[in-house]
């Protein structure tokens, strides 16, 4: 499935709120811990995670070889692995990822990803992490979590703000008509189908949301 990448905002703009939201997830998980971030390019956020939690291992992904080539890996913190290729819409990439990262991981982070991708992509993500399948259990440990940050619609399909409406039409949908903001409930319904329960929904700066789903099967 071909669609443009939605690159995460610069770390300086959202990293502190994201770190704050991650803290209760990471600090209550027994060590050792291994966290996977999807769509990590350009690897700014994952570096901040590593500094905040030096005893936690972090793995990241980039969509294709061009993104991987654009990531500086010479000075990565010792607890950050080199990026693995993963286009979340490509099953071959998921299959390769399961053999290339130390798994199962304790949690998965997604910034600016499932809330605006084409139809079918969010479900593809949760299916590959599902506690209902052998493959999913191989990648995400029992009781693990999936956390997502980004802009969303309200559950009734309305925009949360005029800024979000402008962002959706002039930026996201302008890149490709298959893209567009989604409702949180639509994502949670897909997640529930594959064994996840929405556990946290928290307002973040600039009208964004932080949502956490727990693998409960």
Of the given ranges (77-81, 132-136, 167-171), which has the lowest mean pLDDT? 167-171
Highest mean pLDDT among 10-14, 31-35, 78-82: 78-82
pLDDT for position 11: 58
**Number of domains, the chain:** 1
Sign of the alpha-carbon torsion through 127, 71, 82, 53: negative
Distance CA 76, CA 39 (A): 17
R_g of the chain, CA atoms, integer Å: 16
CATH number at residue 94: 3.40.50.150
pLDDT tens digits for 100-147? 998 899 999 999 888 888 888 899 999 999 999 999 999 999 999 999
pLDDT for position 171: 83
Domain residues for 58? 14-26+33-215
Say if 69 falls within a structural domain: yes
Say if 5 falls within a structural domain: no
Say if 8 falls within a structural domain: no
**Six token digits for residue 172:** 């996201």
Provide the whole-model pTM: 0.94
Q: To the nearest whole number, what is the mean pLDDT of the chain?
A: 91
Say if 59 falls within a structural domain: yes
Say if 4 falls within a structural domain: no
């Amino acid at each position: 499935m071909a669609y443009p990448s939605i690159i995460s905002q610069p770390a300086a703009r959202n990293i502190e709120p994201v770190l704050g939201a991650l803290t209760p997830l990471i600090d209550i998980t027994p060590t050792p811990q291994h966290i996977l971030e999807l769509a990590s390019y350009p690897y700014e956020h994952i570096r901040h995670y590593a500094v905040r939690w030096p005893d936690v291992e972090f793995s990241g992904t980039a969509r294709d070889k061009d993104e991987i080539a654009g990531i500086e890996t010479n000075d990565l913190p010792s607890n950050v692995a080199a990026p693995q290729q993963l286009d979340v819409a490509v099953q071959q990439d998921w299959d390769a990822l399961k053999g290339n990262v130390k798994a199962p991981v304790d949690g998965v982070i997604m910034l600016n990803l499932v809330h605006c991708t084409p139809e079918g992509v969010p479900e593809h993500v949760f299916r590959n992490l599902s506690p209902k399948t052998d493959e999913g259990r191989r990648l995400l440990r029992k009781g693990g979590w999936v956390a997502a940050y980004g802009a969303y619609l309200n559950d009734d399909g309305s925009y949360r703000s005029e800024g979000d409406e402008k962002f959706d039409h002039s930026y996201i949908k302008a890149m490709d008509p298959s893209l567009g903001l989604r409702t949180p409930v639509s994502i949670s319904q897909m997640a529930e189908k594959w064994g996840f329960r929405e556990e946290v929904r928290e307002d973040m700066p600039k009208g964004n949301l932080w949502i956490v789903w727990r693998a409960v099967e």
